[in-house]
Amino acid sequence: MGWRLWWWLVALPLAAGHLNVLISQAEVMKLLGLDAELYYVREGVVNTYATGFIVPVPAHIADLEFMWQSLGRKPLPYVMDIDYESRGAMLPPQVNISERGYVPTTLQTFRVRLPCTGSRSAEILVSMQLNISAPDRASRDVRLNFKRNKICLKGLSTVVSHNETARLAGDVTRSSSGVLFAAGGCAAAALALLAAAAAAGTLYRRGNKARHHDSIHTSYTTAAYGSHQNVLLRLDTMGRPPSSTGSYATIASLHKFPFAQVFTTTGSRRSPSPYATTHIGEHVYAKPESRVSYYAASNLTHVSQTNTLKDRITDPAEQLRHLTAPRANIRLEILVHEGTFGRVYKGVFKRGDTYEEVLVKTVSDNASAMQAALLVAEGLRLCGLSHANVLAPAAACAEEARRPLLVYVCASHSSNLKRFLTSCRLGQQAAPATRELVELGAQVACGLSYLHVQRLIHADVAARNCVVDEKLRLKLADNGLSRDLFPEEYHCLGDNENRPVKWMAPETILQCQYTSASDVWSLGVTLWELATLGAPPLAELDAADVGAFLSGGYRPAQPHNCPDELYGLMSWCWTSAAAGRPTAPQLLAALHDFRQALNTYI
């Protein structure tokens, strides 16, 4: 049934194995995006690492399934309790086993339903305690605590009018021939009703006290690569063929020193964000010479210099003439994004006798001539390029000088990556699995590698400047209109120019140096955006303070349940010395190999 998630290094042995508790391969895929089974107890050994996770449950998922089995001849007594805080967003959980009963001797499934009312949006911490008595005095009782962070959204109700969770699979009836499990028929139905009535009165406690816990806003948590202080993670698999031996390091060995308060230049205090900055010692990731040599030799890094477009048009006027298409060939249909003066439409472009679905960038009627000219100038920077991960303009129309149109051909149902990630974080749609997020990062690196081969510096690599389709195929785009469509991500530093300060390298902020290395720094921040599903980086800092904090060694902190390997690559991109950062092709090779390692080791 696929790879089985199990880590013997952190398990606590009991006595002879007498119990299994797990979630199935389908359940792991549903919640975590992994093709694996997850054992919480295997032959009496408790996986304390796995039980320590607060697993997020997206808004569209209501039912959780667990599998269990007593390995002895007799079923084991258990007691279950569920603690939660409704806050008006969720009704009491429904369980298809009683508060007290027996673990079956055959592998069976029990279900917990978390019904959202749809009346408000909230995150509900649900804690399920399961105490299982040992079969004899030589063994230990098993005490499990499963934590789930249920996301409820206003307007999305998962309440059902009838209860499908009435069968008490864990209850038993006794006869002279031994222990038998309640089956179908009137007796089981009556027992179910009695237990349901008892459960309604005694099974649940509502906690009114404030809880302090790590709220996980992502649905791509991986049990094998979570943020846990005592979990050993393999570091040498990244970019190398899998091996049975290698160096290990814990997350605690990263020597992170988060600070509790942030002081701005005015002396005021601000509370840190959930992703507060972290001080990273340069010795951890700054000079991974062995990795550099491996990636340099990787066939993924060899983006041939012969691919440089020697005949590419670089004069803006010539580029515009080359792209010019009649206004009648461009049809605007659906407005998908609008700022103060910028607009992005989905539309149709007629090329010869064929019609193509396109995105069209333009400006509103009240835009200034300078704003219209800036849209064209920024869009033409990628003119003439052809790469699977680069979104270059396919046509342009400047018949109306104050309202130019730039046409981009992309797959149907394409959307802005920043907006896509944000909707996933809010539970409005299912989030990509970890390996898919890593693959998205690799596609950004691949597109950037191509630009650098063409001797182009992007200067604004970020999730907002990427588009992604429903098959998670990504294209790196220009930054035309980004300052208008995402104004909260651009700041002035004592002048009239808006810059993406929190994506910029220290030398770019302080000396206005734009290089391929500064692009790689921004790519590291983009990887952080992917890991947090579009959270704003360095949210606890004023833009004016960013340069000083980066120069002081502070970086965006490791996101909750972000794999060490992925955060290591981010930190490598954020090396203070530009020469110490990876090239885009090296980073591409690292991300590719890490994605392979995710499939290999989980």
**What are the catalytic residues?**
460
| Nearest Cα residue to 537 out of 499, 582, 500, 581 | 500
Q: Cα separation of 481 and 492, whole Å?
A: 16
Task: List beta partners, residue 597.
Answer: none
Q: Cα separation of 183 and 530, whole Å?
A: 48
Handedness of CA 212, 65, 115, 535 (dihedral sign): positive
Q: Cα separation of 177 and 446, whole Å?
A: 67
600 backbone dihedrals φ, ψ, rounded to 5°: -75, -40
Handedness of CA 131, 135, 137, 139 (dihedral sign): negative
Residue 269 has a CB neighbour count (10 Å cut-off) of: 9
Please enumerate in sequence order all residues whose Cβ is within 8 A of that of 136, keeping only pairs 6 or more positions apart, or say none.
none
Specify the residue for token string 């002396």: 267
Q: Cα separation of 99 and 222, whole Å?
A: 30
Q: Cα separation of 372 and 481, whole Å?
A: 10
Q: What is the dihedral of CA 130, 135, 137, 141, to 10 degrees?
A: -10
DSSP character string of 311-365: T----HHHHHHHHB--GGGEEEEEEEEE-SSEEEEEEEEEETTEEEEEEEEEE-T
Please enumerate in sequence order all residues whose Cβ is within 8 A of that of 391, keeping only pairs 6 or more positions apart, or say none.
382, 408, 410, 467, 475, 476, 477, 478
Angle CA 337–340–345, to nearest 5: 25
Answer whether 150's CB lies under 8 Å from 55's CB: no
Residue 429 has a CB neighbour count (10 Å cut-off) of: 12
